[in-house]
Amino acid sequence: MNSHVVVPLADQAILGVGNLALAEGEPSGWRAKSVAAYADTVDVARSQLERRLAERLRLLTGYVPPREGLVVDMAGRSASAVMDGVLFLLRGDDLVIVRPCAHCGTGRFVSESLECVTDLGYALAVWEPFHRDCEPVDPPDDESW
């Protein structure tokens, strides 16, 4: 058996070029169709993100923010909402809250993923994010024991 039987790629490539040339000659609105298809996809994705965030917030808190309170960031593929001053962010499947540094009040820190109301309670009541330089200094180790 000769393992060097070559598939005539050259002929196929030429055929492909010929097909392309034909397609270019057609008066088709392929650009507009492509852009419209993309825009539809973005609209669907935006609506899905809004719905998923609203549903996750409803399950977690029992409340749903008004639709106009939902902000979708298609570039970041995330959705956010502020409820009673708390910024919720849905990224992928992770619903988190975003808070500033507990010391200087700047920056944006993301909590652990909130799976249940207990996670949310911890994030609201206990979690205190700090910039590295803002972390409280630990008291010196007690070496008396």
> What are the residues binding Zn ion (CB under 5 A)?
101, 103-104, 131, 134
Q: Which is nearer to Zn ion, 64 or 134 (CB)?
A: 134
Which residue bears the tokens 């539809």?
40
User: Any idea what the Cα angle at residue 92 is, between residues 98 and 125, rounded to 5°?
Assistant: 30
Nearer CB in complex with Zn ion: 64/110: 110
Taking the complex as a whole, the smallest distance from the CB of residue 104 to Zn ion amounts, in Å, to 3
For 14, the token pair is: 């030429």
* Contact between residue 120 and residue 136 where contact means Cβ atoms under 8 Å apart: no
CB of 136 to Zn ion, least distance (A): 11
Closer to Zn ion by Cβ: residue 46 or 103 = 103
Q: CB of 110: closest distance to Zn ion in angstroms? A: 15
CA distance 37 to 14: 30
